Amino acid sequence: MSRLNKMDEIKISNLAIGTEPKLLCTVVEEDVISTITGINEAMIAGADLIELRIDKLREDGMVSEVVSRVNAPSLVVCRPKHLDGFFEGNEEKRIERLLKGLESGAHAIDIELTTEHKLRQRVINAVKSKGTPLLICYENFEETPSKDKLLEILTEEVSLGADIAKFAVKANSYEDLVTVLQTTIDAKKLISKPFVAIAMGKFGSASRPLACIMGSSMTYCARVKGKEGAPGQLPVKETREIIDLLKSTL
């Protein structure tokens, strides 16, 4: 689909995704108070919305309280350890925790493309039945697949029902960074859903603001240096300054 057609607009709470690029700030803490404090700090720092990582919470019972107390648009995520997350239970228990976030009033839900088919479909069905926005993501902490493979991944995520499609891959060179940025440009012409394109790691940090200039609907930031949720995240304040500076030259 041509990018000449307007990109679909998705609402997460009262925030429109698919218009101007949005900055999403990762908050991943062990308890309710630290999580709420982190959310407040992220919004003060300038985040548009929160990646609410519930995988590090010490107890399942904390999920409902955290989700119900969020005072900002948020995307609820429960990452497994093999994808650089903190959840130590099995996949069934991880999905149960994620669904608890949905039942507690999550503004949006994130599920990994690589999740076992039946469990992934269980989440998709539950999210769709509630009318909650769904982000389907692909994460690769080892390498950057080819541009064609990344475009195939985004297309598959949309076909599965993603309201927002995402990939985040490890850049092992600047050539990998270029692959991600070229994929971003081409994805604008291929899909009409909002999408997120990220190259992780030291070679990929520049992709976070640059991809937003080229068509990515969101990027992920740290609320402050030292609170990164993934390799190569930049602080939200600096990310916004870079994007605004680049936009001013266009």
What DSSP letter does each residue of 92-143 carry, written as one string? HHHHHHHHHHHHTT-S-EEEETTS-HHHHHHHHHHHHHHT--EEEEEEESS-
| Averaged pLDDT, 173-184 | 98
Average pLDDT in the chain:
94
For residues 182 and 190, the answer to whether their CB atoms sit within 8 Å is: no
Structural domain for 73, as ranges: 10-248
Q: What is the pLDDT of residue 228?
A: 77
Q: What is the pLDDT of residue 44?
A: 95
pLDDT > 70 fraction of the chain, expressed in percent and rounded: 98
Q: What is the pLDDT of residue 224?
A: 80
**Inside any domain, residue 108:** yes
**Inside any domain, residue 5:** no
Q: Which amino acid is at 99?
A: L
What is the tens place of the pLDDT at every residue in 213-239?
A: 999 999 999 988 877 777 788 999 999
CATH number at residue 158: 3.20.20.70
Q: Is the pLDDT of residue 5 over 80?
A: no
The band of 19, judged by pLDDT with boundaries at 50, 70 and 90, is confident
**Inside any domain, residue 1:** no
**Inside any domain, residue 3:** no
Q: What is the pLDDT of residue 1?
A: 36
| Averaged pLDDT, 65-74 | 95
The band of 205, judged by pLDDT with boundaries at 50, 70 and 90, is very high
**Backbone angle region of 44, left / alpha / beta, with phi > 0 → left and psi within -120 to 50 → alpha:** alpha
pTM of the shown model = 0.94
The 10 Å Cβ neighbour count of residue 44 is 11
**Inside any domain, residue 4:** no
**Inside any domain, residue 19:** yes
Q: What is the pLDDT of residue 85?
A: 95
Q: What is the pLDDT of residue 10?
A: 96
**Inside any domain, residue 216:** yes
Total number of domains in the chain: 1
